[in-house]
Amino acid sequence: MNLKALQLLYPGIHLKAVEINPDAAKRLVEVIGESNVFEGSIFDYPNHDKVDLAMAKGVLIHINPDKLPEVYEILYHASKRFILLSEYYNPTPVAITYRGHADRLFKRDFAGEMLEKYPDLTLVDYGFVYHRDPAFPDDDTTWFLLEKKKSD
């Protein structure tokens, strides 16, 4: 749905996606074409083409904290300019029971960790999505737009 929205806002945009859920991957193929969808884990993603905007929404919260540095690296190197993170936020790392399972959902300051890890990233903007928003209700998530400093 996020890529569909971007496509509506920016007709002609070239989109690529990594999607682990087979049903969601099939729906993405209908929107952005089969050659632009990698069905599988982000850890197995073989193509590291640079894109203008690398985005993770509701992904990082499900990554084992020990593996987060690897995902940060993938996102960082996939981006030419921007990284957009939209996840559950908590100032300190915390694990939440998810659908009856422990250690399947994690809240933390993902953007802050990336800003610390990559000194050439800057915070451009951020916001909160509220589940009671009458126009655009969604989960209670916080989004952060990060930008790589331009090199001379």
Residues 85-114 pLDDT 10s: 999 999 999 998 888 888 889 999 999 999
Q: Per-residue pLDDT for 35 more than 80?
A: yes
The CB density around residue 86, as the number of other CB atoms within 10 Å, is 25
Comparing CA positions, the residue from 76, 150, 84, 89 lying closest to residue 116 is 76
pLDDT in tens, 113-131: 999 999 999 999 999 999 9
Task: Tell me the helix, strand and coil percentages in the chain, rounded to 5.
Answer: 35, 35, 30
Answer for the pair 62, 105: CB distance below 8 angstroms, yes or no: yes
pLDDT at 151: 64
pLDDT band at residue 40 using 50, 70 and 90 as cut-offs: very high
Q: Which domains does the chain have, with CATH numbers?
A: 1-45 (no CATH), 48-152 (3.40.50.150)
Structure tokens at 102: 């422990």
Question: What are 83's strand-pairing partners?
Answer: 54, 146
pLDDT, one tens digit per residue, over 42-53 is 999 886 688 889
Across all residues in the chain, what is the average pLDDT?
92
What kind and span of H or E run contains 110? Answer: helix 110-117
Pair of tokens at residue 113: 């960790």
